[in-house]
Structure 1
Amino acid sequence: MTDAALSPAPVKASPFNELEVLWVRHWTDSLFSFGVKRPEDFRFRSGEFVMIGLPGEDGGKPVLRAYSIASPCWAEELEFFSIKVADGPLTSRLQKIVAGDTVLMGKKPTGTLVLDALTGGERLFLIGTGTGLAPWLSVARDPETYSRFGHVYVIHTVRSVADLAYRDFFTREIHDDPLIGDEARAQLTYYPTVTREEFVTPGRITDRIKSGDFFRDLGLPEGFDPARDRAMLCGSMAMIKEAGELLETYGLKEGSNAEPADYVLERAFVG
Structure 2
Amino acid sequence: MTSPAELEACAPAGTFVETVTSVTHYTDRLFHFHMTRPSGFRFRSGEFVMIGLMVGDKPVFRAYSIASPSWAEDLEFFSIKVPDGPLTSHLQQIKPGDAVLMRKKPTGTLVNDALVKGRRLYMFSTGTGIAPFASVIRDPETYEKFDELILTHSCREVAELKYGQDLVASVKEDEMLNELFDTSRLRLYNSVTRDPFPFQGRITDLIESGKLFTDLDVPPLDPACDRAMICGSAEMLKDTKSLLEQAGLTEGANNRPAEFVIERAFAG
Which category describes the TM-score, using the shorter chain as reference length? over 0.9
The answer as to 2:59 corresponding to 1:23 is: no
- Corresponding residue for residue 197 of structure 1: 195
CA distance in 2, matches of 1:102, 1:198: 40
TM-score between both structures, scaled by the size of structure 1: 0.92
TM-score between both structures, scaled by the size of structure 2: 0.93
The answer as to 2:168 corresponding to 1:174 is: no
1:143/1:179 contact within 8 Å kept: no
Deviation at 1:175, TM superposition (A): 1.1
CA distance in 1, matches of 2:210, 2:189: 14
Question: Residues 125-153 of structure 1, C-alpha deviation per residue, up to 9 Å, x if partnerless?
Answer: 00000000000000000011111100000
- Corresponding residue for residue 34 of structure 2: 35
Question: Residues 210-239 of structure 1, C-alpha deviation per residue, up to 9 Å, x if partnerless?
Answer: 111100000012x21101000000011111
- Corresponding residue for residue 9 of structure 1: none
Paired residues, number: 257
CA distance in 1, matches of 2:86, 2:132: 23
- Corresponding residue for residue 7 of structure 1: none
- Corresponding residue for residue 186 of structure 1: 184
Unpaired segments of 5 or more residues in structure 1? Answer: 1-11
1:174/1:184 contact within 8 Å kept: no
- Corresponding residue for residue 142 of structure 2: 145
1:124/1:230 contact within 8 Å kept: yes
- Aligned letter for 1:19? E
Deviation at 1:15, TM superposition (A): 1.0
Structure 1 runs (4+) greater than 6 angstroms displaced: none
Deviation at 1:184, TM superposition (A): 4.9
Secondary structure of the equivalent of 2:265? helix
Match of 1:106 among 96, 103, 107: 103
CA distance in 1, matches of 2:47, 2:165: 24
Secondary structure of the equivalent of 1:78? strand
Greater Rg by CA? 1
Quote the sequence identity (%).
55
- Aligned letter for 1:33? H
Matches within 5 A, 1:40-79: 40-57=39-56, 59=57, 61-79=58-76
- Aligned letter for 2:178? G
- Corresponding residue for residue 115 of structure 1: 112
- Corresponding residue for residue 77 of structure 2: 80
2:26/2:163 contact within 8 Å kept: no
Secondary structure of the equivalent of 1:164? helix
Matches within 5 A, 1:155-166: 155-166=152-163
- Corresponding residue for residue 6 of structure 1: none
- Corresponding residue for residue 212 of structure 2: 214
Secondary structure of the equivalent of 2:39? coil
